[in-house]
Structure 1
Amino acid sequence: MKERLSAGVPQEEPKPKRPTPMTRQERRSKMVMTTEAALDIPITRRLGIVTAEAVVGMNIIKDMMQEVRDLVGGRSKTQQSAMRDIKEELFDRLRDDAARLNADMVVGVDLRFSDFGSRGNAILATAIGTAVQVQKGLTSESRNNPPQ
């Protein structure tokens, strides 16, 4: 517990306020990018690394494969949808962690999938990125449509 002195009397440091949980719309306004160098986004501060992990049992994937009989071009729509859902969950977690750091966006995101478990019966999905603050006055609309 940190203390500070005020007129020679020790006082407890005020606890930092936790940000209120974001709505889904607010979370979606936080950008998640795989690069930071390609766009002219004025990053003013790098706040730290944010990560997200998810372990998905292979039985879920196998069950989805059995349910799907219509394969389009050798691809299972159900599997693709499940993978998209997993990625969105990871991105949402990155956005939440970034919001706790008062970041404006997450850049340099790397997304990986690997076998997990003793018999390869699960998939480990991980996402890692850098939470950053950008120049004030840069709206979410202008972030989504950077100058050419």
Structure 2
Amino acid sequence: MILTTTNSFEGLTVKEYKGIVTGETIIGANFIKDFKANLTDFFGGRFNAYEKVLVEARQIVLKEPEENAVQLGANAVFGIHIDYETLGAKGSMLMVSICGTVVII
């Protein structure tokens, strides 16, 4: 399965467009992570716990277009776009959404 942010893949020709696929996930951060993030923000540096949550959310959401493509009999998803948003009263939840075009190459 080819997953790419580009609208084509060098050397491959699209034989059929099967439609659009999407995926979403929302992951919340807990109080401890929020507290430590505030300290990191104050003192500076990177905050690995939030980075791990971000990586986890992206991995989850990337599986959905691939699974949908397989169900549609396709072997690639082109033009993938990933979007990140914070939700909740204090932005303590992260929503990651994805969309792409399912194709047969």
The answer to whether TM tops 0.5 is yes
Please state if 1:51 is matched with 2:22. Answer: yes
2:3 maps to which residue? 32
Match of 2:53 among 82, 86, 89: 82
Structure 2: gaps (5+ residues): none
1: CA distance between counterparts of 2:34 and 2:89? 22
Q: CA deviation at 1:118?
A: 4.6
Aligned pairs, number: 101
Instruction: Point out which structure has higher relative CO (alpha carbons under 8 A, 6+ apart).
Output: 2
User: Deviation per CA, 1:59-104, whole angstroms, max 9, x where unpaired?
Assistant: 27x527739x9xxx92233332321221111111110011111110
Normalised TM-score (structure 1)? 0.58
Please state if 1:107 is matched with 2:63. Answer: no
Whose helix proportion is higher, 1 or 2?
2
Output the aligned Cα RMSD: 2.7
Larger Rg: 1
1:5 maps to which residue? none
Q: Given residue 51 of structure 2, which amino acid in structure 1 is its aligned partner?
A: Q
Normalised TM-score (structure 2)? 0.78
Residue identity over aligned pairs, in percent, reads: 22
